[in-house]
Structure 1
């Protein structure tokens, strides 16, 4: 017992006290004389409690904070450092913390003890108000260029944290940060106490008798911190960032760089990779720098440069040769970290360039038996992506041998590799399905089980030979599945695929077992699955059995299960209901329906007219399941009129993006009486080059009687303010549109970018689909910013900037993608309006390019995977959409042939509910 008690009192447990006890013990701060040992121990307990997530109330934190500040005058160095740690953490909660500013600034003076200055700088960063930043500017500027790296680093990191709240002040420190980056030597001196345990406040005061005996440091860590701050200041100016990278890169060989710190070079490589991603025009210069860093003496820099090249968009095999050679050498390194970094990079690259990675197969074979199972996992999964069909069986056996030894995270990586391999070598599906079914029975968390189930789903979808066996494995899995989401998904798949199997009856027992044994959510899914068997199976005996099972569900304790059972019993006796509620494979887009309902409720005249459901696009049930997993657009979109910076369209699905725009427009009072938004562009059209001073993109919104053009304007110049920013639109011919008004941006700075300009037009004939081309000019008043005050000058000058033309096209601007069962709808519209035209697309070099172009022009939903042609000479593309403004449904069948001489020949077949829709599609392709 004594031994146990001693163990409990030792180690970190001695610091974990109830915060009430700590507050009571804080009276040691008021004792006279002060005991440095007791105070250091209590300060350590306070900091530990804060680090593990304990919350101190405002009053408690304030009491502790000012109790701690009483220790400022003590001579014990270790205690003083612990004081700074504590007040730095308490400052975010306590009140009136600014009162200790003068005490902290005393320790920031150049003549203060070197051991105190870094701590004082870090603490001051947390204490001061943003309005006080200008008052301490001279202290920070002096500290950034201080010869002592600990002081310089503390000032740089503190400046980094100050930047969000005091941008204008910190930006003026760019010259000092540049000087710290360009430091040629790091022969400045550390105090020995800074590297000791007493730095955290736990050593005795006697350790500091020689606190200022210097030891040299050659880490150059100041360069790393200075580079981070310099990039933060310049990140909105892409040209300045590019110039900084080229200056610090040191030329093609990288030998002339002033950066001596490996972490700083790795940071510079990441900035270069980001610039390449944003601006392909500088890819050649940046690639030369990256290739130079492949020869650097630091392994860290070599790996980072190789990874950056491997992750570039559109990288060619010839560009990959050198980085892969570097990674290949690392695979044979005795250092585990190097092997892991190299194999992980190669594993990612193998997804897109398996042939290039295959040159490392011999080295990766040796890593299969590596004692680090993470490395072995990556080695095998990469070999699966690069190997041949003959090597699959051997690799599968090796994987099975250590699946139980690795974490779920790496199990998911293995399963994803198997999932890819299934589609690459379908002839090996039996072995891979056996492996997946085996690991499905192993212990594991939700992410691992979901990955296995998704892999089996893909096999069912793309490899017809294994469907029945795969469904049987899933049936066995749900017998013991502890994850409700997976059970529901599997039951849904059984309802779709089960009736198509040769012996569908064997699946019904597994489904009904879920009704008897599972929770209400799974029982409801099982009822829906049973109903699909009853509707889609022709056997009268089986239909009768399913009616009996559904009748039993009418007595379920859960109302959802009872309601579904009652609905489906009615559906089984009515073919029309069966077609609508069971066989129909499309539903309304939830995000579009939600936005329509919200607009309908807000419309004052809503009660006078019904909701027009024909204008709401439909999506497949599979897409609906994915869409329902995302958060509501109503919860995530902020008002652009209040916060211009939040107006940038977020990356979402097409339906969600349109809903987001509708929410933005609803916040603009001038559009209050425009009614519902019928359609919005999903992708903004870029009207300027990416490297220009002003960047402008445009989105079009079609209303019943109006068209609104929404321009996103970005000012990339930090020292210029643009005022009264507007866009002048001039139609090149009679467009059938009349301009109403322009809503300009009052003021636009680099920090407030992007802003929004709205231009509104009235449709002269709402029943017609206006087509026009607009010449656009950006007009504004330009004012320079005073570098001392940070305010724009009073006088400015009018300026304008020519933009690209904006097109109002006959296709995509008036058509919304909408899912449909093509064969059934094409047959239904056979007596409706139709058109057939033939076009020669000589500019298209492949059928795939023609498919992509047609989908983009018409903005319609490709059906049945027809957007991915399986033949290079003959293909049929099937499209479905809704024409806004009551234009009804339209279907398009594109029969294409390709020859190297004539390009693509297109036979365009259109069927629609209205002739205007046919004319619109033909005009879009013909134009």
Structure 2
């Protein structure tokens, strides 16, 4: 607050400033004597201009910079602080800024004013060059251990910013940083409060009076130094996993003090963390340790559980979120953090209530039963004065509630829906969608609620969320199809969003012809042709075309043709062209089958990849035109699933970037798409051109993912000289084989690659020991029981640094291959022994450089490598199963056999086993057996050796007398393949 009325004059308000005028006023800096108040106002104007994006030329900035340096002659503390700030802002665009170093170093001296020292350190580190850093190292190290907290924090933060430019130098300051971290008490903030007049007021005092004021301020207790020191210490030790683990455990010793709520966990030396921000940082580092060392999971989980009862809401919430993001947690493990969140819900602070209910909302997606204990408290929040809290409360209750409470919850939502913002309405609609799919019997209540929202005013995002919910209900709940379509027809009669109208018209074209009375939808569709814009009219013509092709009533077909002919007179070219095409398709059954009834499409990511490879190869055009048949097809269900995955990746990426927890430690519900992104498109390529060897993520389409991974593998294998004459890659195994446990010193996984005359085993090896460097790592394989394969070459990994996966290869030749297609298709299966051999050298854990050239040979026994029939299968969607089955009927390669599966007591387990053994793609989600079914039929398809179309029909029945019985029927383009499929089951 200003102490003088004149401080409110217009001269002190930096508004509507002109750069040239301000630069003219800068001559004031050269005046004698120096006028502190006038100079402070002028510096404020300059900094304001810079903050508003005004640019200064190099010459202008340099002249201004050196004019400002003359103000060091004045001892006014407020003026000096503005000088420091201006110097930092101008240092990036001025020349020869290093000339001010001597003035700044004079202010850094221990005998200087406390206010000077911290600001001088920040300014000096901003302008200093890395080469000059050793010259000021002594001052910075002394400042780090300074008793005054303001000076120590300034030195720590300046060192943190310099660390990324001079890592080797600042790593040597670890002892000083540790001492600052362990300091039990610190000096005061060292600010200007109480040291003089107001900012724009008269000069502050100097000499003994100011020193006395500084000493009084230094007596105040400050703990922010711990936060800054902990951050810098972690930056220094972040590549040494053992050092980070010791750092966390040093401040987390359960038996060394503290208690439950409000206690601190001190180290064995009695030092405690008294800063809440430092405590939150320690929690994040604890999660990092848990990621790297699973052996301490339970110990650190106990600490996180204790921290979830901390007296600080900030620390408590950070610990709870860390626990909730851990993998494989049971409801029992979540009992303690949920109890703490329950206290958040009854807090008098709206921010605390909001943090608690939002965390519960996220947790309810994966552990609804555990969160259900808070239902009573959450129901009380439905009437909370803060609408954000109330929205999260109702959406969380929708996730945790039971079927009996649906009607009551929906009624409560309706009462306050008009009072919340559009963003929260979207959240509510997503919760309603999840609840409708969870309780299909309540679809009438849900559709009524959603249709009412559609009638009300709302943003595009809100209406889109409602339409998405209805579309999912139509797809998942067949009983509600007709009612949902009726509501959507009513909505498009008065819809102001063209995108939504187009989507709904597409849905009507897909689902309307299959309803008992398709004629009731035609009026709504044709109204769009008359009343809407061209983009909607074109979509309506497409919908009418699908009705004309799919309905079986001749009279209705004739009426639809009349409507399509009327569209030929439309004023828009696109609409007329579509109507012309529609009439031609209606008169041609083959065209109707190909363009309307066949709902399959191409995997667009695979098509993009193939086109990129074709356009990048100069000789591809000479070899022939682009082969569209090499691009895998996907069914309508696959295409919908892929679109959903792509839509979720952008959201998940933002959440992952904002989260402090590494992706590998997040629970299955926290990031459903981030793992899928690792195997899709260009994301599969890792460091040094490697391919992420993880298989398809949960929820990702196996056929599409396997194809994309194979293309990435092919591009990498082409760069290996030893495989140059192997020809094109035919198949890569869909999932890698784990040859070691995840917690061992060396982690190895194997992927098999099938070529026409060769089989290549790729071993992705990871060294997890920081102080060891492995060189010339290779895998020695033995396969006495495998006939038909002869080892021809081994490609070692030259260097295996810590946590840097590298591949090594072993290639075999098919001995029976004589150039014919039959010999290329002969399946070779069996087990190989495997041993990892390497040269071990001790190295610096920080830099990874070996301590010396001396090393020793060592080896590590791996699990056996199994080559199975699934490794020869490329899961693929070949088209409509009935059509493919009919096309392969005359191939002469059909086999049918019946098996008794006594080892299984239910159909789902039996089908899962068959699907895994075959490695084929399940069509139409047929790999899922409906509950309480006593019979089931699944259809699996694949390309054997990447070329031979193969379809497998699995019929399962179960009876108390016979158990599980299975009939396998296989059709293929090759008799060899059909025989191999039956042999692997027998």
TM-score for both structures, normalised by structure 1: 0.86
The reply on whether 1:595 has 2:609 as its aligned counterpart is yes
Q: Of the candidates 880, 893, 900, which is equivalent to residue 821 of structure 1? A: 880
Q: For 2:921 and 2:475, how far apart are their aligned partners in 1?
A: 20
The reply on whether 1:882 has 2:881 as its aligned counterpart is no
Q: What's 2:552 paired with?
A: 538
Of 586-595 and 51-60, deviating more is 51-60
Of 158-167 and 242-251, deviating more is 158-167
Q: What's 1:250 paired with?
A: 253
* TM-fit CA distance, 1:276: 4.4
Task: Write out per-residue CA displacement over residues 75-106 of structure 1, whole angstroms, 9 at most, x where no aligned residue.
Answer: 33333333443444455566665665565555
Q: What secondary structure does 1:581 align onto?
A: helix
Of 838-847 and 333-342, deviating more is 838-847
Q: Which segments of 5 or more consecutive residues in structure 2 lack a partner in the other structure?
A: 1-5, 267-271, 651-676, 818-823
Q: Of the candidates 814, 826, 833, which is equivalent to residue 768 of structure 1? A: 826
The 5-angstrom pairing of residues 440-451 of structure 1 reads: 440-451=454-465
Q: Could you tell me whether the CA contact under 8 Å between 1:637 and 1:664 is conserved in 2?
A: no
* TM-fit CA distance, 1:554: 5.1
The reply on whether 1:317 has 2:331 as its aligned counterpart is yes
Q: Of the candidates 621, 629, 648, which is equivalent to residue 636 of structure 2? A: 621
Q: For 2:696 and 2:90, how far apart are their aligned partners in 1?
A: 36
* TM-fit CA distance, 1:459: 1.4
Q: For 1:862 and 1:52, how far apart are their aligned partners in 2?
A: 59
Q: Could you tell me whether the CA contact under 8 Å between 2:796 and 2:809 is conserved in 1?
A: yes
Of 634-643 and 150-159, deviating more is 634-643
* TM-fit CA distance, 1:883: 1.6
The reply on whether 1:868 has 2:868 as its aligned counterpart is no
Of 315-324 and 72-81, deviating more is 72-81
* TM-fit CA distance, 1:217: 4.4
The 5-angstrom pairing of residues 270-669 of structure 1 reads: 270-276=284-290, 280-515=294-529, 518=532, 521-551=535-565, 553=567, 561-601=575-615, 602=617, 604=619, 607-608=622-623, 613-624=628-639, 627=642, 636=682, 654=705, 655-665=707-717
Q: What's 1:3 paired with?
A: none
Q: What's 2:185 paired with?
A: 186
Q: Of the candidates 203, 221, 225, which is equivalent to residue 222 of structure 1? A: 225
Q: For 1:188 and 1:310, how far apart are their aligned partners in 2?
A: 37
Of 10-19 and 226-235, deviating more is 10-19
Q: Could you tell me whether the CA contact under 8 Å between 1:279 and 1:690 is conserved in 2?
A: no
Q: What secondary structure does 2:730 align onto?
A: strand
* TM-fit CA distance, 1:133: 5.7
Q: What secondary structure does 1:881 align onto?
A: strand
Q: For 1:407 and 1:492, how far apart are their aligned partners in 2?
A: 30
Q: What secondary structure does 1:319 align onto?
A: coil
Q: Could you tell me whether the CA contact under 8 Å between 1:861 and 1:881 is conserved in 2?
A: yes
* TM-fit CA distance, 1:455: 1.0
Structure 1 pair 70–498 and aligned structure 2 pair: CA distance change class (3 A)? farther
Task: Write out per-residue CA displacement over residues 709-729 of structure 1, whole angstroms, 9 at most, x where no aligned residue.
Answer: 444444444444444455555
The reply on whether 1:810 has 2:869 as its aligned counterpart is yes
Task: Write out per-residue CA displacement over residues 307-340 of structure 1, whole angstroms, 9 at most, x where no aligned residue.
Answer: 3334432322222322222222222222222222
Q: Could you tell me whether the CA contact under 8 Å between 1:641 and 1:667 is conserved in 2?
A: no
Task: Write out per-residue CA displacement over residues 229-284 of structure 1, whole angstroms, 9 at most, x where no aligned residue.
Answer: 34444445555444433332232756542222222223333343455466654332
Q: Could you tell me whether the CA contact under 8 Å between 1:641 and 1:668 is conserved in 2?
A: no
Q: Could you tell me whether the CA contact under 8 Å between 1:819 and 1:880 is conserved in 2?
A: no
Structure 1 pair 586–26 and aligned structure 2 pair: CA distance change class (3 A)? farther
Larger Cα-atom Rg: 2
The reply on whether 1:678 has 2:727 as its aligned counterpart is no
* TM-fit CA distance, 1:691: 3.6
* TM-fit CA distance, 1:43: 4.1
What is the alpha-carbon root mean square deviation over aligned residues? Answer: 4.3
Q: Which segments of 5 or more consecutive residues in structure 1 lack a partner in the other structure?
A: 1-5
Q: For 1:54 and 1:732, how far apart are their aligned partners in 2?
A: 76
TM-score for both structures, normalised by structure 2: 0.81
The 5-angstrom pairing of residues 710-729 of structure 1 reads: 710-729=762-781
Structure 1 pair 33–466 and aligned structure 2 pair: CA distance change class (3 A)? farther
Q: What secondary structure does 1:378 align onto?
A: helix
Of 468-477 and 631-640, deviating more is 631-640
Q: For 1:476 and 1:513, how far apart are their aligned partners in 2?
A: 11
Task: Write out per-residue CA displacement over residues 394-436 of structure 1, whole angstroms, 9 at most, x where no aligned residue.
Answer: 2222211221222222212211221122123333222221211
The 5-angstrom pairing of residues 63-212 of structure 1 reads: 68=68, 71=71, 74-91=74-91, 104-128=104-128, 137-183=137-183, 185-193=184-192, 205-206=203-204, 209=210, 210-212=213-215
Structure 1 pair 864–137 and aligned structure 2 pair: CA distance change class (3 A)? farther
